[in-house]
Structure 1
Amino acid sequence: MQKLLSIFRITALLEGVSYILLLFIATPIKYLYEDPQYVKILGMPHGILFMSYVVLAILISSDMKWTTKTLWIVLVASIVPFGTFYIDKKYLKKSHI
């Protein structure tokens, strides 16, 4: 359980960083400078990290004894900028110590 939680925390961090880069750097460059290369570069890794985040959240939810509401909060946080950082601090960090 601890190993899967550690993997989930790393995935959450990477997913959050990739989402921020995609939203606030790559997408503006795409539309302001008509240069889609950064979206192409970041898009696939972010998609893989997003899917991994969702699958891992579902897998660890029973071990973490999350209610359905908590699981939904964790899942919705993956589509909110900076959401995965909040989830790590509120739901994951204290159970990792």
Structure 2
Amino acid sequence: MDIKTASSLHRLRLVSAPEAVSFLLLLVCSVLKRTTEFNAVPVMGMVHGVLFVLYVIFWVLAWNRAKWGLATAAFYFVLSVLPFGGFVADRKLRRAAEAEVIASRARREGTVNA
């Protein structure tokens, strides 16, 4: 893997946390809609929908670039539909991207045989 792989993981990571926050806010808005007169579901639904579509696009690109197996790709997709899954994905993707950057620098400097 190379720096482009780290970049694709970084893009997925950048959208995972906001997508998770929007999902939680949408759940809160859904409860508030049922219990009060406050109805922000249409707005939060649209925001969450856009972020989810971006997550799926970046997920497919990362899957292709990182050459994940089916289990890893499914794991990251399932995290996108769990309420706190985006935060877990963010943490795991950060570690993976940092490892890719370190490995790329090591290969470039010739300290590791590629």
Normalised by the length of structure 1, the TM-score is 0.86
Q: Which has the larger radius of gyration?
A: 2
Counterpart of 1:6 in structure 2 is 10
Q: Using the TM superposition, give the Cα deviation of residue 34 of structure 1 relative to its aligned residue in structure 2, in angstroms.
A: 3.6
Q: Which runs of 5+ in 2 are unaligned?
A: 99-114
Q: Using the TM superposition, give the Cα deviation of residue 47 of structure 1 relative to its aligned residue in structure 2, in angstroms.
A: 0.2
Q: Which runs of 5+ in 1 are unaligned?
A: none
Counterpart of 2:97 in structure 1 is 96
Equivalences for residues 46-85 of structure 1 within 5 A? 46-85=48-87
Runs of 4+ more than 3 Å apart? none
Q: Which has the higher contact order (CA 8 A, sep 6+)?
A: 2
Q: Using the TM superposition, give the Cα deviation of residue 70 of structure 1 relative to its aligned residue in structure 2, in angstroms.
A: 0.8
Quote the sequence identity (%).
34
**Equivalent AA in structure 1 for residue 57 of structure 2:** V
Normalised by the length of structure 2, the TM-score is 0.74
Alignment RMSD: 1.4
Offset from partner CA, 1:25-66 (integer Å, 9 cap, x none)? 211110001432x11121101001101101110111132231
Offset from partner CA, 1:48-89 (integer Å, 9 cap, x none)? 110110111011113223111110111111111111111122
**Equivalent AA in structure 2 for residue 18 of structure 1:** S
Indicate the SS of the match to 1:62.
helix
Distance across 2 between alignment mates of 1:67 and 1:28: 37
Aligned length: 94
Determine which of 25, 35, 50 is the counterpart of 1:21.
25
